[in-house]
A = this chain, B = another copy of it.
Amino acid sequence: MRSADNLLILKAFAQELADAARTETMQRWKLGIAADDKGGGSGFDPVTEADREAERAMRGMIEARFPEHGIAGEEFPDKAAAGPLLWSLDPIDGTRSFICGMPTWVTLIALLEEGAPALGLIDAPRLAERYIGDCEKTWLISAGGETSLSSSGCETLADARFSTTDPFLFKEAEADPFAELQRRVRTTRYGHDGYAYARLAAGSIDLVVETGLKTHDYNALIPVVRGSGGVIGNWSGGGDFKAGQVVAAATPRLFDEAVALLEAAATS
């Protein structure tokens, strides 16, 4: 993995996984939107099927090509690694956007080395945008070709374009610092799940703060944000994400300003 050749091979393979997932998710997303029976009852649950079939496809490819790699996903039991490398898979991040026919749901794919996310991929099938980062660089791959990305230069909350998935997730001790963030930032967006971190890497979102994230939610985001020059950590400013409280910022100064507000409610 540490060799540049290995990294190139694994980056190309991560893209093959994303291609396979896209095939499984996009057809069911379109079917779901077209289904007459909107409220359920037909037994066809497009998001559950898409999640399961996309993960099944990716697992099959990993097992065939790299049988020594571990696999952790949402839908099937974990497969232990016979070595340092493990894939973390979330076929559909943004299930609510998916079922509402909205475009910003994503597939998250991460490769961890000795437990640390080394490679992250955020794929937005409806938008035909793919973001891939390795902690040192981040690229956007789209119809326009491959572009190297940089997070914005935003250094203050007052200038920040802020995104969080669900404003009603912040409860009890978390509610106050969240409300204060909302008051201080330039503008707030909701509901974009992993796609918000992709836009942070691309420079059009400056700050993302979330709580309640699971490992398969955040693993892929870390190399994408870091590779763009952004900072991602927990609400105390540290690098342990297990408590699920995540803050990502375009610059170290903005990160510090957000952490100063959030750390009182940090659980790690």
| Interface positions of A (Cβ within 8 A of B) | 32-34, 36-40, 96-97, 99-104, 126-127, 152-156, 159, 161, 163, 167-168, 182, 186-192, 199, 202-206, 250
Contacts and interface: CB of A to CB of B under 8 A. Distances in A.
A158 to B, nearest CB: 8
Nearest to A182: B168
Number of copies: 2
Contacts of A188: 96
Nearest to A158: B39
A203 B204 CA distance: 30
Q: Return the 8 tightest CB-CB contacts between A and B, nearest first.
A: A101-B204, A39-B159, A38-B152, A190-B190, A100-B161, A33-B204, A96-B187, A190-B191
A101 B199 contact: yes
Contacts of A163: 100
A101 to B, nearest CB: 3
Contact of A205 (B101, B161, B205): B101
B38 A189 contact: no
Q: Which of A100, A153, A203, A250 has the most CB of B within 10 A?
A: A100
A101 B36 contact: no
A99 B199 contact: no
